[in-house]
Amino acid sequence: MNQVKPVIVVHGGAKTISEDKLEANHAGCRAAVEAGWKILRSGGSAAAAVEAAIQVLESDQTFNAGFGSTMNSEGEVEDDAAMMDGATLDWGAVAAVQGVRHPISVARKIMEDKPRFLVAESGERFALEHGLEVCDKDDLVSEEQYQEWKEEANVLDRPNTVGCVALDSSGNLAAGTSTGGTTGQSQGRVGDSALVGAGLYADNQLGACSTTGDGESIIPVVLAKTAIDALAEETHPDQAAQHAINTLKARVKGEAGCILLDSQGRIGWAYNSDNMAVAYMTEALQQPAVFTQKE
């Protein structure tokens, strides 16, 4: 059996990216891809690559995940994250957790421990009990997000969910998402990111998908699964991703985007927002390809 050529794709959210934030989005997505690619290149698993890539985005205040997450109605950061393994269909998710440095790592540990969905204090307790990095909840608040929340600013460069999909050299796929939700959201509100089928999906037989955008629009059209199901017709991932976005636009109002990898390692993405930060890496490239608009 020939070794599969690994591929990794990340997104930093479907949104409007202002001119002064272009380079930060490029740099952050590039760094995330490089972290995941280092693992894939050394024979590591797709799940490990997805975790490593999203950890970088969760550490970068440019993106709405981990440090730099948007703040809810009470001035708190509540994060959601999930991961899915395409080989086993195992998954793990957390929502409305506070003081967790890398929610994606908690989601992966849950996936490997016992697939389930843990919210708020139960997710925080799981992280603590399994030696995952926790912090004071205020440590996740960036100065920029605090000022925007305090002033109730109408922000052009509205941050959004981050995500990653990867294919490893064993032919296994994984998908992950992480988010701080929406600015001023009700305490305890949960969007699509932690929901299998809506915010992410992975199946070795078809592909892997991570979505971004308005959760209340993504959930009713189960956007990730809609994109994955389109791959069943042997559709190219670009067409499948566009089909999913077209489905959302036809049925509900809202902005969204998705990245998609099929079992052959072909890449696709689509969005209906002004911009979408995306980067990917394959063996055919000397360095990551990075975009804030699709050419």
CATH of the domain at 261: 3.60.20.30
- Are 56 and 169 a contacting pair, CB within 8 Å? no
Mean pLDDT across 205-209: 98
* 278 domain-assigned: yes
Residue numbers of the domain that contains 85: 7-71+81-89+141-291
Helix (H) or strand (E) holding 257: strand 256-262
User: For 195-205, what is the mean pLDDT?
Assistant: 98
Residue 22 located in a structural domain: yes
Convert the pLDDT of each residue in 98-139 to its tens digit. 999 999 999 999 999 999 999 999 999 999 999 999 998 888
pLDDT of residue 294 exceeding 60: yes
pLDDT at 206: 98
Q: Which residue in the list 16, 62, 88, 161 is annotated as catalytic?
A: 161
Residues 146 and 181: their CA atoms lie apart, in Å, by 15
pLDDT at residue number 141: 80
Comparing 88-92, 147-151, 239-243, 279-283, which segment has the lowest mean pLDDT? Answer: 147-151
Q: Is 215 helix (H, G, I), strand (E, B) or coil?
A: helix
Which range is least confidently modeled, 138-147, 186-195, 237-246? Answer: 138-147
Active site residue 211: no
Q: Is residue 180 part of a domain?
A: yes
Number of structural domains found in the chain: 1
Q: Which residue has the tokens 């009990």?
A: 129
3-state helix, strand, coil in the chain (%, to 5): 35, 25, 40
How confident is the model over 55-85, as pLDDT tens digits?
999 999 999 999 988 888 888 999 999 999 9
Q: Is the pLDDT of residue 153 over 70?
A: no
Give me the pLDDT at residue 144, please.
76
pLDDT at 143 over 80: no
Helix (H, G, I), strand (E, B) or coil at 291: strand
Residue 244 within a domain: yes
Residue 157: per-residue pLDDT: 52
Cβ proximity of 11 and 278 under 8 Å: yes
Query: In this structure, is residue 21 part of a structural domain?
Result: yes
The DSSP secondary structure of 46-98, one letter per residue, reads HHHHHHHHHHHHHT-TTSSSSTT----TTS---EEEEEEETTT--EEEEEEE-
Is 284 part of any domain? yes
| Intra-chain end-to-end CA distance of the chain, in Å | 36
Burial tier of 59 (Cβ tally within 10 Å: 0-12, 13-18, 19+)? middle
SS3 call for 157: coil
- Tell whether 106 is covered by a domain: no
Q: Whole-number mean pLDDT of the chain?
A: 93
Question: Sign of torsion, CA 161 255 185 138?
Answer: positive
* 62 in a structural domain: yes
pLDDT recorded at residue 1: 47
Least confident range from 23-37, 103-117, 129-143, 224-238: namely 129-143
- Asked if residue 206 lies in contact with residue 247, where contact means CB atoms within 8 angstroms, the answer is no
User: Is the pTM above the cut of 0.85?
Assistant: yes
